[in-house]
């Protein structure tokens, strides 16, 4: 039989007063979700201004109250010249209109990751991979890379899938069922950069051919996407890759998965690349062992670095720069050259070197120009998919991991924007997304990058695949979040986002995000959020 003990109320109150007090936040309160619209545009042409005003009007009528404005011109307002006044007039007219329909405009700045727009002002501010002690041979006071016949690719690969027909530097793939690849197994020099060239012809081909370069540990050294059309005549392709600290690599040409149509490759070759896209800036110099630039040889400058078809756009291959010697050297003399070059990822993406003085000159100029133009209540830090980091001396000298470097850069750029509210993309601060090790061509781990986030920064969360874990990660640390949804996918994905977001405090709203300029769904998207989102204020960070 259970015994019941009745305590006097006074004793119970006294005991309660002696209990430890925990700093739990007040009960979460329901909040009305914000509705954001992502608008990527170019506000210099007058026609785009009219289209933008029309889009913003539609958005406002559907209940949207925030615009995330992404425009490449914001990264280089300083260099617009006489067009700057026109651009500023267009922006001010749109801001005035936005105020009349109660839209808050948040401009996007701080292009860390996709840095091409910012690098318009100085292409040498890119992050560079190291190339070390490459042999150059002197001939007539000019130095060029010393060729090595062992670098060449054989006429027939060491291995290929059965569906690939190969003969004498020519391969044909037709209606392949399953993978269709050729593999070249090579032993190369560490810290050297190699140039691969080949020709491709297609007819109604549904696949997307790739060139991948894998190390023994299956690290990929080459991410540039090949622009191969479904049907095209013979066209030459040129790709470069850095071996980094690896000797044994395997080059994979071809496609993964089943595809129809015809794909042909021919005339594949490989050689040392030479001085292509050498950064040659303080912090990432081009040096010749035992010689002094300006005394013994002309300082190396690549006029084609990040300059085609306009500044900030990079080509992986063009004619290498020659070394020009100022002092006589006998023909046949071998010198050893080291430099840094920016790798290209996918469709032209080049990352800035956040440790370089060159980058911070651009960043300060950008932040000042955009603040003076917008006087915005908030700004977006466009830190996103930072796929190359911590290789050149500007970064290495800080003796920090990539995560620590990114945290430091986030704090530093935030200070350039005064006391304004700030937003940033989630991925580089999310261990369930991109904030981890073995990320593309990053020299180390992005762990602890989130330590650079002050609670003034609101997270634009786009980690749909791990949304519950990601939402919890930021919510547990007391961060407010906006869900970047849609991404040109069926609205059922947005419904899944809403279901997840309703479980966590601190989600403030949803953004209609399109990379294809598809704004047909902005009304049903808004209606879904308004009807199904039941958001709550932050619940406080876990101790």
- In this structure, the answer to whether residues 272 and 145 fall within a common structural domain is yes
| CA–CA–CA angle 349, 386, 251 (5° rounding) | 60
Task: Please check whether residue 542 lies inside any domain of the structure.
Answer: no
Question: Mean pLDDT, to the nearest integer, of 137-165?
Answer: 97
Whether 19 and 519 have beta carbons less than 8 Å apart is answered as no
Could you tell me how far CA 254 lies from the centroid of its own chain? 25
Does any domain span residue 26?
no
Work out the number of other CB atoms within 10 angstroms of the CB of residue 164: 22
3 in a domain, yes or no? no
Q: Does residue 160 fall inside a structural domain?
A: yes
Together in a domain, 160 and 193 = yes
- pLDDT at residue number 31: 84
Per-residue pLDDT, averaged over 25-42, amounts to 86
What is the pLDDT at residue 485? 98
* SS3 call for 535: strand
Distance CA 306, CA 315 (A): 7
pTM, whole model, 2 decimals? 0.91
Buried b or exposed e, range 286-303, using 16+ CB within 10 angstroms: bbbeebeeeeebeebebe
Weakest mean pLDDT among 73-77, 333-337, 397-401, 536-540: 536-540
What is the pLDDT at residue 18?
A: 36
Domain that holds residue 88: 34-124+350-532
What token pair was written down for 521? 């769904």
Cis bond leading into 309, ω under 30°? yes
pLDDT at 6 over 70: no
Q: Are residues 136 and 117 in the same domain?
A: no
Tokens representing residue 405 in the block? 């470097």
Q: Is the pLDDT of residue 23 over 60?
A: no
pLDDT given at position 57 = 99
Check residue 30 and give its pLDDT: 84
Q: What is the largest CA-CA distance in the chain?
A: 107
Give me the CATH number covering residue 379.
Answer: 3.20.20.80
92 and 169 both lie in a single domain: no
Same domain membership, residue 294 and residue 170 = yes
Number of domains within the chain:
2
* Contact residues for 248 (Cβ-Cβ < 8 A; gap 6+): 185, 186, 187, 188, 215, 216
Residue showing tokens 């786009």: 462
Which letter does DSSP use for residue 477 in this model?
A: T
- With a cut of 50, say whether residue 491 has pLDDT above it: yes
C-alpha 294/C-alpha 274 separation (Å) is 20
Domain boundary among 345, 360, 393: 345
Q: Are strands 104-112 and 378-383 parallel, antiparallel or unpaired?
A: parallel
Residue corresponding to tokens 């690896």: 246
254 falls within a domain: yes
Percent over 90 (pLDDT), the chain = 92
How confident is residue 537, by pLDDT bands cut at 50, 70 and 90? confident
Token output for 71:
């425009």
End-to-end CA distance of the chain: 41
Domain boundary among the residues 291, 312, 345 is at 345
For strand 210-215 and strand 193-203, is the pairing parallel, antiparallel, or unpaired? unpaired
Q: What's the CATH number where 221 sits?
A: 2.60.120.260
Q: What is the pLDDT of residue 25?
A: 47
Give a yes or no: residue 541 inside a domain.
Answer: no
Phi-psi region of 178 (alpha: psi -120 to 50; beta: other; left: phi over 0): left
pLDDT computed for residue 163 by the predictor: 98
Q: What is the rounded CA–CA span in Å between residue 462 and residue 511? A: 10
Is pLDDT of 28 > 70?
no
Q: Is residue 103 part of a domain?
A: yes
Q: How high is the pLDDT of residue 29? A: 78
φ and ψ at residue 376, rounded to 5 degrees:
-80, 155
pLDDT at residue 27, as a whole number: 60
Residue 442 sits in the same domain as residue 365:
yes
Q: In the chain, count of helices (H) and strands (E)?
A: 10, 26
What's the token pair of residue 211?
């060139």
Do 386 and 312 have their domain in common? Answer: no
Q: Which residue has the tokens 């936040």?
A: 25
Beta strands across the sheet bearing 248-255: 159-160, 180-187, 248-255, 210-215
Tokens 């002690």, residue located: 133
Judged by DSSP in three states, 138 sits in strand
The span from the CA of 255 to the CA of 182, in Å, is 9
Confidence band of 12 (pLDDT split at 50, 70, 90)? very low
Which pLDDT score, from 0 to 100, does residue 21 have? 36
Is residue 7 predicted with pLDDT exceeding 80?
no
Residues 164 and 259 reside in one and the same domain: yes
Q: How many CB atoms lie within 10 A of CB 420?
A: 15
Is the pLDDT confidence value at 141 over 50?
yes
Confidence category of residue 541, pLDDT binned at 50, 70, 90: low
What are 406-451's pLDDT values in tens digits? 999 999 999 999 999 999 999 999 999 999 999 999 999 999 999 9
Are residues 297 and 184 located together in one domain of the fold?
A: yes
| Whole-Å CA distances, 86 to 73, 83, 90, 396, 427 | 12, 5, 6, 42, 35
Confidence of residue 539 (pLDDT cuts 50, 70, 90): confident
Residue 368 has what pLDDT? Answer: 97
- 25 CB neighbour count, 10 Å cutoff: 12
Q: 140 to each of 95, 101, 320, 336, how far by Cα in Å?
A: 61, 70, 17, 17
**Same domain? 228 vs 272:** yes
Question: Measured between alpha carbons, how far is 207 from 259 in angstroms, rounded to an integer?
Answer: 5
In this prediction, residue 540 carries a pLDDT of 60
Whether the predicted pLDDT of 16 surpasses 50: no
pLDDT of residue 15: 37
Lowest mean pLDDT, pick from 62-66, 418-422, 535-539: 535-539
Each residue's pLDDT tens digit, 504-536: 999 999 999 999 999 999 999 999 999 999 999
Judgement on whether residues 267 and 354 belong to the same structural domain of the protein: no
Question: 92 is written with which tokens?
Answer: 């001010």
Tell whether 86 and 187 lie within a shared domain.
no
**543 pLDDT more than 70:** no
Alpha-carbon span 440 to 383, nearest angstrom: 16
DSSP letter, residue 493: H
Determine the pLDDT at residue 67: 99
pLDDT band (50, 70, 90) for residue 2: very low
Residue 138: closest CA among 300, 341, 327 = 327
> What is the band of 11 on the pLDDT scale with cuts at 50, 70, 90?
very low
Q: Give yes or no for a contact between 306 and 313, defined as CB atoms under 8 angstroms apart.
A: yes
End-of-domain residue from the set 321, 345, 369: 345
Give the span between the Cα atoms of 271 and 273, in whole angstroms.
Answer: 6
* Domain annotation covers residue 337: yes
Instruction: Kindly tell me if the per-residue pLDDT of 207 is higher than 70.
Output: yes
């Amino acid at each position: 039989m259970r015994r019941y003990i009745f305590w006097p109320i006074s004793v119970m109150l006294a005991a309660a007063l002696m209990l430890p007090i925990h700093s739990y936040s007040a009960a979460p309160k329901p909040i009305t979700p914000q509705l954001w619209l992502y608008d990527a545009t170019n506000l210099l042409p007058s026609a785009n201004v009219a289209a933008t005003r029309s889009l913003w009007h539609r958005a406002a009528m559907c209940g949207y109250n925030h615009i995330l404005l992404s425009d490449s011109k914001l990264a280089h307002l300083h260099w617009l010249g006489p067009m700057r006044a026109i651009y500023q007039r267009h922006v001010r007219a749109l801001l005035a209109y936005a105020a009349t329909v109660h839209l808050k405009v948040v401009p996007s700045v701080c292009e860390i990751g996709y840095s091409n727009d910012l690098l318009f002002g100085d292409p040498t501010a890119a992050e560079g991979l190291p190339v070390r002690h490459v042999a150059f041979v002197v001939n007539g006071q000019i130095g060029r890379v010393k060729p090595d016949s062992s670098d060449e690719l054989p006429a027939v690969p060491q291995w290929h899938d059965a569906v690939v027909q190969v003969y004498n530097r020519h391969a044909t793939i037709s209606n392949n069922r399953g993978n269709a690849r050729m593999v070249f197994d090579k032993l190369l020099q560490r810290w050297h950069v190699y140039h691969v060239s080949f020709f491709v012809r297609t007819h109604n081909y549904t696949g997307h051919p790739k060139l991948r370069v894998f190390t023994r540990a299956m690290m990929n050294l080459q991410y540039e996407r090949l622009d191969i059309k479904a049907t095209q005549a013979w066209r030459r392709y040129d790709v470069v890759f850095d071996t980094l600290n690896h000797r044994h690599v395997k080059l994979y040409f071809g496609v993964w998965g089943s595809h129809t149509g015809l794909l042909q490759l021919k005339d594949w070759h490989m050689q040392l690349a030479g001085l292509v896209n050498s950064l040659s800036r303080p912090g990432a110099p081009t040096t010749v062992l035992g010689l002094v630039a300006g005394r013994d040889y002309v300082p190396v400058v690549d006029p084609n670095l990040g300059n085609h078809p306009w500044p900030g756009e990079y080509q992986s291959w063009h004619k290498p720069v020659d070394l020009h010697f100022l002092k006589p050297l006998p023909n046949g003399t071998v010198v050893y050259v080291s430099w840094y070059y920016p790798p290209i990822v996918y469709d032209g993406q080049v990352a800035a070197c956040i440790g370089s003085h060159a980058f911070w000159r651009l960043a300060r100029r950008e932040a000042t120009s955009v603040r003076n133009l917008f006087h915005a209540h908030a700004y977006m830090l466009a830190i996103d998919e930072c796929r190359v980091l911590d290789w050149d001396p500007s970064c290495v000298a800080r003796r920090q991991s990539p995560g620590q470097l990114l945290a430091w850069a986030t704090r530093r750029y935030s200070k350039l924007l005064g006391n304004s509210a700030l937003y940033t993309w989630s991925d580089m601060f999310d261990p369930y997304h991109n904030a981890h090790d073995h990320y593309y061509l990053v020299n180390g781990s992005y762990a602890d990058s989130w330590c650079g986030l002050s609670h003034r920064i609101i997270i634009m969360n786009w980690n749909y695949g791990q949304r519950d874990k990601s939402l919890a990660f930021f919510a547990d640390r007391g961060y407010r979040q906006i869900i970047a949804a849609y991404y040109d996918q069926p609205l059922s994905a947005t419904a899944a986002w809403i279901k997840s977001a309703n479980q966590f405090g601190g989600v403030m709203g949803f953004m209609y995000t399109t990379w294809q300029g598809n704004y047909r769904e902005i009304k049903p998207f808004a209606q879904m959020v308004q009807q199904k989102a039941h958001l709550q204020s932050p619940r406080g960070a876990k101790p």
